Amino acid sequence: MSVFFSKNSIAWYFIIPVLAIHFMVVALPSLLSLALCLTDWNGFGKINYVGLENFYELFDDRYFKKAVWHNIIWTFLFLTVPIALALTCAYLLTGITKGQMLFRLCFFFPYMLASIISCQIWKFIFHPLYGLPAWLNSKGIDFIPAVSPFTVKETSLYAVAFVDGWHFWGFLVVIYITGMYQVDNSLYEAADIEGATKFQKFRFVTLPLIRPIFIFSIMIIIIWSIPTFDYVWILTQGGPAYSSEVLATNLYSQAFDRFNVGYSSAIGTLMFIYTIFIVSIFGVLRKLGWEI
């Protein structure tokens, strides 16, 4: 039997189709991006090698720096508010039996909505004429101005993050509660005998035992906060006056409005390096026996 029909070759034939598609869609263009970030190509003319010029330019570009800063804020917001809410919520859910499944479905459902739909819902709720603030104003509660927070420089980023967070946090509830159910009941009974309070039980029993899932959630939030695009693009397109510009929208307009291939590849490359850096940190921690 020739080597082409050996057991091992046949096993690989089964893998080749998926490898081919994934390589063509993800790996090959990523490699091209790594090469193009060292050029000044604009998509049409000659390709000139410019070394690290794009990166020097980036670090001088104040819109890029603004976008980086906004991504940092974004990451920080998602690492605090949704996690705190979801932990509380999951912990409360474990204490009830009636209607638990219904609650879970309610929390989870927004996670399945398309970004375009979540955005449309909240655009209407914040609408200056029809929305909630306008309605409150008409009832005499007027400390909230009836303007859409998406169109105000000071609030646009936070308003967009709020909508994305609204869509996302139910996902955390579900993964935390899955973890909490794997905790052995006898541990809580032991804690009860020791006279632990609810908070102590949460802090010293629940939290350490769901640590793998908790760390996992922190990792994906850090990773997913970098390429965040849909919500910003649909709600504000990075505006007004770049007040909600993030890396992904910055890259997108560099790439598809201005066709700065080299420049936008440089942004993409930095995003990639950062992501790999974060993943490796968690990988190293795991190697060090952190049980994550």
Partner 1 sequence: MIVAKYRKSELISNYTILTILALTCILPILLLFFNSIKPQEEFGINPLGFPITIRFANFVDAWFIGEYAQIFLNSSKLVIGTLILNLTVSGLAGFSLAKLYPRGSNVFLVYLLVGVSIPAQMFILPLFLMWKELNLMNTHLGLIIIYAGLNAPFATFLIRSYMIQLPDELFDAAKIDGANTLQLFYRIALPISWPVFLTTGLIVGLNVWNEFLFALTFVHDDAKKPIATILFAFQSRFENNWGLVNASAVMMMAPIVILFMFFQRRFIAGLTSGASKG
Which parts of 128-147 interact with partner 1 (CB under 8 A)?
Answer: 129-132, 134-135
Helix boundaries (H) for the chain: 7-22, 28-36, 53-60, 62-94, 100-112, 115-125, 132-138, 156-181, 185-193, 198-201, 207-209, 211-225, 230-235, 247-256, 261-287
From the list 59-67, 68-76, 82-90, 140-148, the region that binds partner 1 by CB under 8 A is: 82-90
DSSP state of 257: T
Which parts of 242-261 interact with partner 1 (CB under 8 A)?
Answer: 247-248, 251-252, 255-256, 261
Binding mask 50-79 for partner 1 (x = CB under 8 A): ------------------------------
Binding mask 209-248 for partner 1 (x = CB under 8 A): ---xx--xx--x--x--xx-xx--xx------------xx
Given a contact cutoff of 8 angstroms between Cβ atoms, the answer to whether 279 and 193 are in contact is: no
| Nearest distance from C-beta of residue 30 to partner 1, angstroms | 4
Which parts of 138-197 interact with partner 1 (CB under 8 A)?
Answer: 166, 170-171, 174-175, 178-181, 183, 185, 188, 192
Give the number of residues in contact with partner 1, rule: CB under 8 A: 107
Q: How far apart are CA 252 and CA 98, in angstroms?
A: 47
Which parts of 93-112 interact with partner 1 (CB under 8 A)?
Answer: 93-97, 103-112
Q: How far apart are CA 289 and CA 49, in angstroms?
A: 44
| Nearest distance from C-beta of residue 73 to partner 1, angstroms | 18
212 to 42, 67, 204, 209: CA distances (angstroms) = 45, 31, 15, 8
* Nearest alpha carbon to residue 137 among 127, 146, 128: 146
* 138/153 with CB nearer partner 1: 138
* 73/183 with CB nearer partner 1: 183
